[in-house]
Every structure is written in C-alpha cells, then in structure tokens.
Structure 1
Amino acid sequence: MLALAGLLTILAILAAILTKRLSPMVALAGIPMLALILLGDGMAIGEYASAGIITVAPMAAMFLFAIIFFGILADAGLFAPVVKAVIGASRNRPARITLGTALLTSIVHLDGSGATTFMIVIPALLPIYERARMDRRLLACVVGMAAGVGNMLPWGGPTIRAATALETPVMTLFAPLVPVYLFGFAAMLFISWWLGRRETSRIGKTEEADGFGLSLDSADQDVLPPIRWRYIVNVLTVVAVIAAMLTTWLPPAIAFLAGTIVALLVNHPDVTAQREAVEKHGPGAVMMVGILFAAGVFTGIMGGSGMLAALAEKGAGLLPEGAASSMPVIVAVLSMPLSLFFDPDSFYFSILPVLGGIAGHAGVDPLSIGRAAVLGQMTTGFPISPLTPATFLLIGLSRIELADHQRYSFFWLFLLTLLMTGAAILFGVILP
C-alpha cells in the first residue's frame, strides 16, 4: 500500500510540474501532504515536514547567501577587468577567442546563475565573433559547455538539489567529485580550443589572420574600473570563501554569509546602500529557497511515512540480479539527455530519491547515484534544455534558433558528460 501511494504521489508531482499545472513549490509540498491525509496519517504532517525542512535549511541558506554575495561583487565590477583581459588576449585567433570565451564564462558563472552569466558574457563577446566571421552557434556552444560544467559546483542548482533530495550535506556529496570537476573543466577548455582551431579552417584564415579582433575603444576603457583596493579585497574574499568551504573549515552557508558581510562592508559602507544591495539580489534567490524548503517537506513526508522506503524496496526487487551495481553508470550516461525531458525540480526531487532508495536497498551507495546525476542532468544538459528559461536567453542573445543550437551543441555537451563519467569511474567516485 505504501509503495503504491509513494508511486502515485511522485507521478502526481511529475505531472503537475511538467504540465505546469502547479508551481514546483506547491506541487512538492502540497501533494505529499494530501497523500498523507488520504493515508490517514494527517496528524503527522507537522512532524515529518519539520524534519525535512531542518535537513534542507543549511543548503537553502547557502544558496541564499551565495546569490547575494556574487550579485554584490558583480555589481562592484568584479568581472569587468576579466572581460577586458579576455577580449585583449583573444584578438586575431579563433582558438584564442573560444578558449577566452570558456575561461570568461567559467569565472562569471561562479555565481551559479545561468541567466546572469549569459547576460554578461554573450553581449561582450558576440561582436568579436561577428567581426571574426565566426559561427554564433559556436559562441553559444562554448558558453554552454563552460556554464554546464560550472553548474556542478556545490552552490549550483543541480548539486544543491541532489544533496537535498538525498538528505546529505552538499559538501559530502560534492567533495569526491572535485577531481571529476577539474577533469571536466580541463576537457571543456580543450574542446573549446579545438573548436576554435576547427573554426579557423572553416573561415579560411591562417593563425596570423589579418586583424579581425575587436579592441576596446576609449569608451569601453572608461566603463571598466581600474584596479583599486576594493577590487583586490573582493577577489581575496572570493578566494577565501571558496577555500573555507572546500577545506570544510566553515560550513558553506556560513562561508557565504561571512563573504556577504565582507562584500557589503567593503562595497556599501552606508547602511541604506547595504539594504538596497540585499533587496536587489534577494528576490532572485527567494523562489529557489522556497522550492528547497518545499523539497524538504516532500522528502520529510515521503521518508517519515515510509512511502519512499517501500517504493525503493519494491523497485530493488524488480532489478535483475547484478544490475544494481551498474546503476550509477547508467544514470551518469543518461543524465545529460534526460535534461531534455525533465526540469531540475522534477528530476532531482521526484526521481532521484527513488533511484537512490533502490540503489541503497540493492547495496549501492545512494550518493553515487546523486554524483552520477550531476554529471549531466541540468549541468551539461541545461544549456540546450527547453525546460529552462536560461536556454532561451542564451539563444536569444546569440541570435540563433533553438533547433540549430541543439544540433550544433548536443554532441559536445554529451561528450563532456561521457568524459566525466569515465573520469568518475577511474577515480572511484561512482563505482567502488
């Protein structure tokens, strides 16, 4: 009975989210509450939901402070000198242009927001691609690859969702993925460089092409702030926050909170300016934080009521003998294409807990399923997914059609997932 109730609850959530009948926050919290009432256990809603909310609170706090932190620093011009340096170093050679594009995107995407990244990077670099007669689809592809790999970082949406769904601290999930992320980052840079070399041949230019690069004019120079003490402090703050988090000296939420305090004091000494800075970037994080808390209600009710355990036990019993050990690899390989069919909330909060539960009952570490999922599901997969608004911002700013973008970029994004899957196997991250 519990297994059937769990299955119907998850299917109802999937249907509500994918058909856009309900918002993810309403579906994730409301449907499990209704299911519990129908099971005659409605009096336990408060207990189960509260337990789930307590579990996700640290991750919700981390996301909130990360968005505000990077938003303040972006407004302070943190990325402007980087844009200038990349433009200056990329002129004349397509391979340099694509490599510079990848590096710039990776730095700007530290805030974890695809929309912000696209709005900063694409307008800055599109004139260079057009002046060089380079394919605009290449620009979208390289930016998508860099942002996709960057989405694996612990404050990125997919990783936070995976940790929330599996009820584990985000750094516990991400720490073993660090070498895989670094490998994926290096592979992304190499592919970007190689695509630039290929573009050189396509446009019929030699390496010493006649100066088609775009230089910054005096107006551009005026817009970019000179290096001052505030900029140096901002850079050191970013380094300190990431180091404190990756070394587990501070919990991620506290690291970003401390960074936000420093960023506010350095860049907005006035109290009114501090309040305005928080109010400017806070709304962008509120919806995601609400979804995370709703997901906590979902996992709390599904776990506390026994529905998730019963469903996982039934699912494990249906697996062919020996098949469970291959689950992480299968999930990793399919993770990127699944981004075309499932938005991040429906996959991570509805499907991943079931997959993790099935793996656990079969003797496989559920966290290996979560790590496998973030190798592609809304990481390398999000830049071509029609289920994320950021994708349409990417193609709109690049002035290309979705179908053209998908045909051009799918292979390279999928290749990145396969390469990272191989690295994850080699490093023992998703297989013992």
Structure 2
Amino acid sequence: MLTFLGGSMVAAFMTLIMTRRMSALVALVVVPIGFGLIASGLHIGPMMLDGLQKLGPTAAMLMFSIVYFSIMTDAGVFDPVVRGVLHIAHGDPLRIYLGTACMGIVVALDGDGSTTYMICVSALLPIYKRLGLSLQYMATLLVMSIGIMNILPWGGPSARAASAMHLDVADVFVPLIPVMLVGFAYNLCVATVFGLRERRRVGVLSDAQFAAMRRDIGDVPDYRRPNRLWFNIALTGVLLVSLVIGLLPLPILFIIASALALMINYPSLAEQKERLTAHAYNIISVVGLILAAGVFTGILFGTGMVEAMSKDLLSITPQWLGPYLAPATALLSGVATYAVTNDAFYFGMLPILAQTAQAYGISATEMASASLIGQPMHLLSPLVASTYLLVALLDINYGDNQKRSFPWVIGLMLVMLASSILFGVIPLRGSLS
C-alpha cells in the first residue's frame, strides 16, 4: 500500500507540473499532503516539520549563494569571462553552446550543483539574452554537466557508494574516469546539435552586429565595481577553495562571503538595500520551492513510503536478472534515485543488490561503480534542490525543463552505461560461482 501511494505521489506531482496544471511550489505542498492524509491521517504535521528542518540548511545555503553570486555579477566579477566567451564565440551560437558545455564541466569540478549553476548562469545569461538563444538548451547542458561531475569523490554519491560497500572511494571512482570522459564527449555532441539548431534559427552575427553587441554588453551600469575586481576574484577563489576542502558548512561560508561582498562593494545601507531588492524575486522563488520540497520529502520519508518502495523494488527483481545485476543496477540507479534520495538508494538498496550479485561473481567494487551511472537522471529528481535554483535563475518552467531535458539525460546515462561495459568497469553478465 505504501509503495503504491509513494509511486502515485511522485507520478501525480510530475504529471501536474509537466502539464502545467499546477506550479511546482503548489504541487510540492498540495500533492504530498493529500497522499500523506491517506497514509497517516492527521499525523503528518510533525513529518512536514521534520522535512523543513532537514532542508533548512539547504534553503539557507541557496539563499545566500544567490545573494553572493548576484552581488558578484552586479560588481562585474564575471565581465572578463563574458568578454572571453564573446571573443571566442564571435556571435556564433554553435561556439557558445560548446563553450557552455565546457564551462559547465570545469566549474562543476567543485562537485556542487548550486554553485555551478550560479556561476555559469551569471556569466552566460547576458550573452544568451542578447543573441536570443534558447535558455532551455543551456539548462539541459548544465544539468548533464553536473550529472557527469557528480561522480567526483567529493560530489557525494561516490562517497555514499564506497561507504555502503566498505570500499576505498578511489577504487570506485578511478575506473569511472574514462566513462566520465565519454559522458563529456556526449555532452559536447548535444551542445553541437543545439548550436546548429540555434545557428539556423538566429544565424551568426556579422562583424558589425558583433561589435554592437560587445558595446551593449560592455556598457557599465552604476552598480559595477571595476576598482574592486581583484578583491572580488580573490574572495570568490577563497570561497570556492573553502567549499571544496570543507572549511566550514556550506551555508555558513555563503553567509560570511555574502556579508563581506556587500560590505566591501556596497558599503552604504541604501546601496545594500537596492542590490538585495533587485534580486529579491530570485531569492524568494528559490527558497520558497526548497521549503515546499521539505513538505514533500518529510511526508515521503515520515509515512514510510521511501522504505516500502525500496524493499518492494528489490522483492520484484526477477531471478533471471541475477547474472545481469551490474548493468541492471546502473539502470535502476537512475530510476531509483529519481524517486528516492541518494541516501535511501545507496545505504538501503545497494548493499542488498551487491550481496545478491556476489553469487554471480560480480564484485562489490563493480556494483558500486554501476550504481553511479544513474546520477545524470538523479539531477532531474524533484528531490534535488539545485534544479529549482537553475530554473529560477533562467526563468523557465520546471515541468518544461523536465520534459525537454529527459531524452538527452537518458541518452547520457545509456552512453555512460555502454562505455562502462566496453571499458570493463562493470561486467555485462556474471556467472554463478
């Protein structure tokens, strides 16, 4: 019963937002409350509060990351990046989309989706808007970039898989490096398709048009702070290094960095109020979605739906699938981590799958590596907070992003699965020992 309710709840949420019958914020609250009342009656209040408490730090981190990177954009710290991309692209949509894919991969080295989206969108949005390029294409490329780079040891899933299997994270991650490179090549191929489509639609700028665009983008508004460029670059560098090494919790780092950025770039209270007001919509829309997602996850976990879905999914796995558990786990990881959290999959389901696979000569390392192939699909899950940030920054519809990104993301997952089998990272078929 709980499995049916959990699956129906996720399906209802996705249907409502993809058909535009509800906004994501409304659906995240109304849908789980309806199913939660069926599952647990009036006892869902504490569950929702628990979900809010768990997502509170994430909401704080996203709020202050928006504040920080918005201030950096206003101050002009990304202007050199914009000028560099413009110089290389020269008004050609194909080059811009290829540059977007490359930039997404490079920035995603920190393993954090929210930071990657903030930096890339802040730097590239003026170019996209000036040329009239599809923002949805940018969103799809960035989601795939994070989906690939989320496999990095400090990204989270690799550490979970290694911990669940009691392995060294390097043993799980290193064999996947060539698979990630193939994924990057696929991302560039998709960027090429997008670029050629947009080149046919909007064309390539002439030299005169390109010069005019550079002048338009090069106009310096009053709130730019070119005299503080090096301070802002240094502050951003220190922030990113601190994020990677885990100097302090992410929300605290962004709160401190935001305070310093406001104090140095806009010292007067009037200037600070003006900059915060200018970005209030993005802040409220993102934080509102994250807190609403707390209701969704609180009920999903509190009612026991997640646990029931995990157990029942394992129980219906057919016996003939045993020898093919490695590729099956790779495919399952995409579906499972879309419906439940990474923690639920890696700590609840993976150990049981790996124990079964052992009978067919499939090692724990191979199963752990296979379990990471589905991460690109996980990034589109309604349980992933950073995706709400991305669609808010680009002002695109959440449901549209799901529909238009899914085919390309599934393609990425299948390409990575095929390459992992080809490179011998996971076996196509095991055999009873």
Report the number of matched residues: 370
1:178-202 CA distance string (max 9 Å, x none): 9689747853675378669989x99
Counterpart residue identity of residue 248, structure 1: G
How far off is 1:79 after superposition? 2.6
Q: Deviations over 1:36-66 (max 9, x none)?
A: 544xx83x852x4454444333323222222
Q: 1:67 corresponds to which letter in structure 2?
A: I
Residue 76 of structure 2: SS of its match in structure 1? Answer: coil
2:82 aligned with 1:79? no
**Structure 1 residue 261, shift from structure 2 partner:** 2.0
Deviation at 1:319, TM superposition (A): 0.6
Aligned equivalent of 1:123: 129
Tell me how far 1:237 sits from its aligned partner: 2.4
Q: 5+ unaligned residues in a row in structure 1: which ranges? A: 127-135, 204-208, 336-346, 396-401
Q: Counterparts of 1:19-98 in structure 2 under 5 Å? A: 19=16, 20=21, 23-27=26-30, 29-31=32-34, 33-38=36-41, 42=43, 45-46=45-46, 48-91=47-90, 96=95, 98=97
How far off its partner does 1:301 sit? Answer: 0.8
Matches of 1:75 and 1:115, distance apart in 2: 13
Contact 1:97/1:196 (8 A) holds in 2? no
> Which shifted more, 272-281 or 100-109?
100-109
Q: Residues 196 and 36 of structure 1: is their aligned pair in 2 closer, same or farther, counting only changes over 3 Å?
A: closer
Ranges in structure 2 where 5+ consecutive residues have no aligned partner:
109-113, 164-168, 356-363, 429-433
Residues 16 and 410 (structure 1 numbering): CA distance in 2 closer, same or farther, change over 3 Å?
Answer: closer
TM-aligned CA distance change 1:235 to 1:31, over 3 Å: farther
Cα distance 1:17–1:311, how it changes in 2: closer, same or farther (>3 A)? Answer: closer
What secondary structure sits across from 2:377 in the alignment? Answer: coil
Q: 1:93 to 1:52 in 2, by over 3 A?
A: closer
Match of 1:18 in 2: 15
What is the match of residue 340 of structure 1? none
Q: 1:221 to 1:202 in 2, by over 3 A?
A: closer
Deviation for aligned residue 1:269: 1.5
Whether the aligned pair in 1 keeps the contact of 2:48 and 2:299 (CA below 8 Å) is yes
Q: AA paired with 2:37?
A: L
- Counterparts of 2:194 and 2:315, CA distance in 1: 50
8 Å contact kept, 1:78–1:234? yes
Tell me what 1:5 maps to. 2
What RMSD, in angstroms, separates the aligned Cα atoms of the two structures?
A: 5.6
1:317 corresponds to: 315
- State the distance in 2 between where 1:116 and 1:53 align: 28
Q: 1:292 aligns to what? A: 293
Q: Distance in 1 between matches of 2:291 and 2:244?
A: 26
Native 8 Å contact 2:141 2:191 kept in 1: no
Q: TM-score, normalised by structure 2?
A: 0.61
Question: Shift of residue 262 of structure 1?
Answer: 2.2
* Partner Cα distance (1:104, 1:162) in 2: 22
Separation in structure 2 between the aligned mates of residue 153 and residue 254 of structure 1, nearest angstrom: 27
List per-residue Cα deviations over 1:120-179 (Å, max 9, x = no partner).
3322344xxxxxxxxx7xx77863553233454999xxx99999xx9x9xxxx9x96996
Which secondary structure state, in structure 1, belongs to the residue aligned with residue 211 of structure 2? coil
> Matches of 2:7 and 2:194 in 1, distance apart?
44
Residues of 1 paired with 2:74 and 2:210: CA distance?
25
1:237 counterpart (232, 235, 238): 235
d(CA) in 2 for partners of 1:253, 1:244? 12
- The alignment's TM-score, normalised by the length of structure 1, stands at 0.62
2:178, 2:249 → 1: CA distance?
22
